[in-house]
Amino acid sequence: MEKPQPEGLSFERVVFFSDAVFAIVITLLVLELKVPHLAEHNESTLRQALFDLLPRVAGFVISFLIIGLMWIEHHRIFRYIADYDSGLLWRNLLVLLCVSFVPFPTALFSENYWSRTAFILYAGSFGAVATAKLLVWRHASKANLLKPDVSPEFDQRIARRSLAVPLACAMAIVLSFVSLWLAPISFIFIPLFARVLDPSRKRNQKIATAKEEAAA
């Protein structure tokens, strides 16, 4: 399972393959919303059944948004990467392994939203994706795979900002020992953490090239 043979694999395809995995996972999440089977056919029974589904719907929406955020971040770091080696390929496969695992803890937690164990697995799986992504960036930086116009400061900023999701997940896990209702609030802090860890980034700015961004 080690020592891949990356010669002859086009970089564009690596990104395309990653995109496809993200898209499939984000779409599979809805399959966990099982249509309720009703004992009797009347509107109030159906409404009650839908109401009982709300925690799962919340799980679906939160997972969708977090995977969406991770897809955005995955792309951002890959735009600054110019080359790759087998180390990068396998670290990226690790990201995709973590991403494709996410539907399981999402389903587990949305079915067992009373369980701290389920929540820890849920938050932990997002932390694992983000940490694997950080490993990709670290490796790209160490192995000289970044584009030449990426400055060391910009490299550091990406690495710091990449800590926002793992931090929020760690906070969520700690908070889950206080209250399971409080813990998911940690995810709302992701953009705040990203701002604090990378204060030089401006809000809602237009897309800058790696050069302009690095020069900024």
Taking the complex as a whole, the smallest distance from the CB of residue 143 to a second copy amounts, in Å, to 8
Structure tokens, 28: 């599979």
What is the closest distance, in whole angstroms, from the C-beta atom of residue 44 to a second copy in the complex? 9
- Beta-bridge partners for 81: 146
Of 39, 40, 188, 200, which lies in the binding site for a second copy, with binding defined by CB under 8 A? Answer: 188
> How far apart are CB 205 and a second copy at their closest, in Å?
7
Q: Contact, 29 vs 60, CB < 8 A?
A: yes
Do 176 and 210 touch, CB atoms closer than 8 A?
A: no
Question: Residue holding tokens 């961004």?
Answer: 213
Q: Report how far residue 20's alpha carbon sits from residue 51's, in angstroms, rounded to the nearest whole number.
A: 33
Instruction: Please report whether residue 170 would count as binding a second copy according to CB under 8 A.
Output: no
Count of Cβ atoms closer than 10 Å to residue 142 Cβ? 10
Closest to a second copy by CB, 174 or 185:
185
> Taking contact as CB under 8 A, which single stretch among the options 92-100, 130-138, 174-182 is the one that binds a second copy?
92-100
Tell whether residue 30 is a contact of a second copy (CB under 8 A). Answer: yes
Query: Measured from the CB of residue 132, what is the shortest distance to a second copy in angstroms?
Result: 13
With contacts defined by CB under 8 A, name the span among 12-20, 127-135, 169-177 that binds a second copy: 12-20
Q: What are the DSSP calls for 65-79, one per residue?
A: HHHHHHHHHHHHHHH
39 interacts with a second copy by CB under 8 A: no
Contact between residue 171 and residue 186 where contact means Cβ atoms under 8 Å apart: yes
**Closer of 170 and 189 to a second copy (Cβ):** 189
Q: Which of residues 106-145 bind a second copy (CB under 8 A)?
A: 107-108, 111-112, 114-118, 121
Q: Report the distance separating Cα 113 and Cα 120, nearest Å.
A: 11
Residue 47: CB minimum distance to a second copy, A: 6
Site map for a second copy, 52-91, x if CB under 8 A?
Answer: --------xx--xxx-xx-xxx-xxx-xx--xxxxx-x--
Q: What is the rounded end-to-end Cα distance, in angstroms, of the chain?
A: 41
Q: How many CB atoms lie within 10 A of CB 49?
A: 14
Report the nearest approach of a second copy to the CB of residue 135 (Å).
15
User: Based on CB atoms, which residue is closest to a second copy, 118 or 130?
Assistant: 118
Q: CB–CB of 162/137 below 8 Å?
A: yes
